[in-house]
Structure 1
Amino acid sequence: MDARLATDWIAAGEAELADTIALRRAIHADPEVGLHCPRTTEKAKAALAGLPLEIREGPSTTGFVAILRGGGSDDAAGSGSNGRTVLLRGDMDALPLTEETGLPFASRTPGAMHACGHDAHTAMLVGAAKALCARREQLNGTIVFMFQPGEEGHHGARHMIADGLLAEPRPEAAFALHISPNIAAGTVVSRAGALLASTDTLHATIRGRGGHAAMPHECLDPIPVACEIVGALQTFLARQVPVADPAVLSITRIEGGFAHNVVPDTVTMLGTLRTLSEPTRRLMRAAFLRIVENVAAAHGLTGEARIEEGYPVTANDARATALMTACATAIGGAGGYATMPAPMMGGEDFSYVLREIPGAMAFIGTAPEGSDPATNPPLHNTRMTIAEGVMARGIAMHCSVAERFLERGLGE
């Protein structure tokens, strides 16, 4: 990447930083959860007002896309529509947590907090849109800015895709940044291939026959059967899943009974399944259903299993990852990029976008100055904070990635 262009985008990011911080703090103080985040959407739109952007919305969420057509085009048929099209994404929703940071702009909404950095993601994307709009005449192609709610378990990206918001113009590549307080400030981290796991939720009900706890032989006790199912699932995982294509299955809740001297009729189980490939995902899903039903049946009980489908594997295109690597290195120097040694077993609904469009997601470190990234409160923690100055580099990354793709595509 041309060093001059990298320097230009760094300067553009710094120029937008004050407004970006103000927007991030306004969103942080007023968090919204789920697919409908109208106040957050309004803040983002207000910050974009007056820019040469075409706004499109769908019926399923309060998400929207803002389309920038480069080359001086003011209409869909202009020269900007003849080049490549790239998508940049920022999510907008918060988590159902009560904030404990003590910040002066902490959440004013009990039970809601931006503990995953989506406030920063939205603010950085707005900053990038402003910086790129200022260079509109020099852009040969189209940029789609995707402002998406409902990432935290609500499948917001899937809904926006179903609403047709990525259909016209159809992006040829897609990119996203995700902050991390556990990475050194400013360092971009990613990897080709699987970056994050699929995220299925497991439900099971074991039905037996309750009775007096002193006479269990007259009952069909579901509690030891539930315990045996947990063991059988872990044995299957350890012995039939290849170590080179791993999975994580955790039963996180078992509920049953209400008194010390009563055997309950039923036990319910809840858990999560994480995998890094669709073949292993299918293998583990089938095993969960089979083990719950058949272990229960072996003891004369009934096992009912259900899988709530979560996000697919977040898989980065190798060419798109190389593009992000080049941009991060140009902006941050030799320490500007680091390869993630292994996938993380968390999940992301940007996976829905990457399932349809080649692209990549990367993490950008936001460890506060003087802190230890390894021990900072992590994402989804009530005390999570970020170094806000890093958002200037995030803006520069968005801009340089978009410009590089419009000029060169993904290459080989």
Structure 2
Amino acid sequence: MTLAGDLVTLRRELHADPEVGLDLPRTQARVVEALAGLGLEITLGTGSSSVVAVLRGQRPGPTVLLRGDMDALPITEDTGLPFASANGAMHACGHDLHTAALVGAARLLHAEQRAGDVVLMFQPGEEGHGGARAMLAEGLLEASGTRPVAAYALHVIADLPHGVFHGRPGPIMAAYSTMQIDVIGRGGHGGRPHEALDPIPVAAQILTAAQTYVARRFSAFDPVVLTFGEFHAGSAPNVIAERATLRAGIRTFSAEHTARVARELPALAESVAAGSGCRAEVTFTPVMAPTINDAAAATVLENVATGLFGAGRYRQLENPRTGSEDFSEVLAEIPGAFGYLGAAFPGAAQPAGNHSPRAVFDDSLLEDAARLLAGCARHHL
């Protein structure tokens, strides 16, 4: 079978049997099997189902890291594909393609005579489970014996032009943090609110104040995207609640603004609550850092894409995307670049986006993705 055929077969096996989070034993076993015969030095994670594989060159040289994430989402698939998942999880973000593409890059690089080493990072737990951080803690960057000089990753995406690679220098994805605000008042009878401290209007004031604050205190050219996705309070229409809870997701694009919102938004909530006689308990949780591409590495990704596939197969993103990605943890340690590949199934009038139960990705692009990753490594080796 051809490389493209092998990768499609692997991807569809992974797609039919997805696993969520940090514990992916069946996925890990398939990856190890797919890497057999390449002479790799393979290390399995102890705190997760990660796979770190070192591909040695024929001569001394630098080390380059390539990443492919492996985890799925807790989504019931609704695509009708013959290889659709039936276990209540789904590769709705295309990580099955990322895994297969990294296996393809390993096979391409193994067939070449070159200097230096390649660290292949097969990562679980990208979808908010801290998989990259766990792998870094277990010595990912020391796997080859020398720290990587560059790191690259590629992500398929449904709402970009089909078959076109995308990148940009600087911020390419947002940091993601969550904030929970519990407003504590004093419950009472709905007909006698003056005898109670109603936390619901105070929570509403905090919500409005926070939205105004980020719009007026942060530059529009380094934005803060604040979304209150949850508001919970009360149990009956004639009862003043004791507590109201707000939960927000916050996207930022620089380390400076990530630190500022972590400091200033809790203080704002506490101040508004205190002004009405209530109390606010705020939990601010950084989940992922901003994904920031090194300018030189972003140029490597662009040059490799255009050199392999022509100028029409690469476009520079005008703005960062507001999703988040824990490859940011690697890029905070190693200069590198994160890119996209438009991979919605061709012919779909309105393709379902990533994380949709109807998301369908075109796996005929897998060999191109593998060649791009291998080419980025080859540039340094």
Normalised to the residue count of structure 2, the TM-score between the two structures is 0.98
Deviation at 1:365, TM superposition (A): 1.0
Match status 1:225 vs 2:202: yes
1:351 aligns with 2:328: yes
Q: Alpha-carbon deviations, 1:22-60, whole Å to 9, x = none?
A: 111111111100011010000011111121100012321
Q: Secondary structure at the match of 1:322?
A: helix
Distance 2:106 2:148 in 1: 16
Q: Which residue of 2 aligns with 1:165?
A: 140
Which residue of 2 is the match for residue 10 of structure 1?
none
In the other structure, the counterpart of 1:383 is 358
Q: CA RMSD in A?
A: 1.1
Q: Which residue of 1 aligns with 2:213?
A: 236
* Matching residue of 1:4: none
Q: Which amino acid aligns with 1:174?
A: A
Code of the aligned partner of 2:125: G
Return the offset for 1:284: 1.4
Distance 1:129 1:282 in 2: 38
Q: Does 1:29 align with 2:4?
A: no
* In 1, Cα distance between equivalents of 2:259 and 2:327: 21
1:103 to 81, 85, 92: 81
Count residues in correspondence. 379
1:160 deviates by: 0.2
Aligned residue for 1:410?
none
**Percent identity over paired residues:** 45
**2:100 aligned with 1:123, yes or no?**
yes
CA distance in 2 between partners of 1:382 and 1:287 (Å): 37
| CA deviation after TM superposition for structure 1 residue 168, in Å | 3.3
Provide the secondary structure at the position in 2 that maps to 1:175: strand
C-alpha deviation, 1:388, in angstroms? 1.1
1:237-289 per-residue CA deviation (whole Å, 9 max, x = no partner) reads: 11110112111111110001111111110011111111111111122122211
Partner of 2:126: helix, strand, or coil?
Answer: coil
Q: Distance in 2 between matches of 1:289 and 1:167?
A: 38
Question: CA contact under 8 A between 1:186 and 1:332: conserved in structure 2?
Answer: no
Give the conservation status (yes or no) of the 8 Å contact 1:31–1:114: yes
**What is residue 28 of structure 2 aligned with on the other side?**
41
Q: What does residue 149 of structure 1 align with? A: 124
Task: Tell me by how many angstroms 1:397 deviates.
Answer: 0.4
In structure 2, which of residues 367, 371, 375 is the aligned counterpart of residue 392 of structure 1? Answer: 367
**Unpaired segments of 5 or more residues in structure 1?**
1-13, 72-78, 407-412
2:283 aligned counterpart, secondary structure: strand
Contact 1:288-1:305 at 8 Å conserved across structures: no
Q: What is the match of residue 52 of structure 2?
A: 65
Match of 1:202 among 179, 201, 204: 179
- 1:367: Cα distance to partner? 2.0
Tell me the residue number matched to 2:304: 327
In structure 2, what is the Cα distance between the partners aligned to 1:249 and 1:124?
Answer: 34
For the residue of structure 2 that corresponds to 1:385, the secondary structure is coil
Q: Are 1:341 and 2:288 counterparts?
A: no
Tell me the secondary structure at the aligned position of residue 292 of structure 2: strand
Which of 189, 211, 224 is the matching residue for 1:247?
Answer: 224
CA distance in 2, matches of 1:396, 1:347: 25
The ranges of structure 1 where at least 4 consecutive aligned residues each deviate by more than 2 angstroms after the TM superposition are none
8 Å contact from structure 2 (residues 119, 143) kept in 1 = no
| Within-5 A mapping of 1:395-410 | 395-406=370-381
Q: 2:70 is matched with which residue?
A: 92
Q: Separation in 2 of the partners of 1:386 and 1:168?
A: 32
> Whole-Å Cα distance in 2 between the matches of residues 15 and 105 of structure 1?
20
Kept after mapping to 1: 8 A contact 2:57/2:116 = yes
| Shift in Å, 1:187 | 0.6
The question of whether the paired residues in 1 share the 8 Å contact of 2:54 and 2:143 is answered with no
CA distance in 2: counterparts of 1:186 and 1:343, whole angstroms: 19
Between the aligned partners of 1:172 and 1:61, the Cα distance in structure 2 is 25
Shift of 1:171: 1.0
User: 2:76·2:86 contact (CA, 8 Å) conserved in 1?
Assistant: no
Which residue does the alignment assign to 1:53? 40
**Corresponding residue SS for 1:83:** strand
Encode CA deviations 1:319-344: one digit per residue, 9 max, x unaligned.
00000000110122121100001011
Aligned counterparts of 1:92 and 1:329: Cα–Cα separation in 2: 27
Q: Is the 8 A contact 2:52 2:143 kept in 1?
A: no
Deviation at 1:185, TM superposition (A): 2.1
Matches within 5 A, 1:176-325: 176-325=153-302
Check the 8 A contact 1:91/1:151 in 2, yes or no. yes
TM-score (norm 1): 0.90
Report the secondary structure of 1:306's partner residue: strand
Structure 1 counterpart SS, 2:30: helix
- Deviation of residue 371 (structure 1)? 2.5
Aligned AA (1:322): T
SS at match of 1:310: strand
Corresponding position of 1:7? none
Alpha-carbon distance in structure 2 between the residues aligned to 1:353 and 1:84: 17
Cα pair 2:176 2:250 within 8 Å, conserved: yes
Q: Give the counterpart letter for 2:55 in structure 1.
A: L
1:126 to partner: Cα distance: 0.7
Q: Distance in 2 between matches of 1:129 and 1:302?
A: 56
CA deviations on 1:309-365 (whole Å, 9 max, x unpaired) are: 111110000000000000110122121100001011110000000000000000011
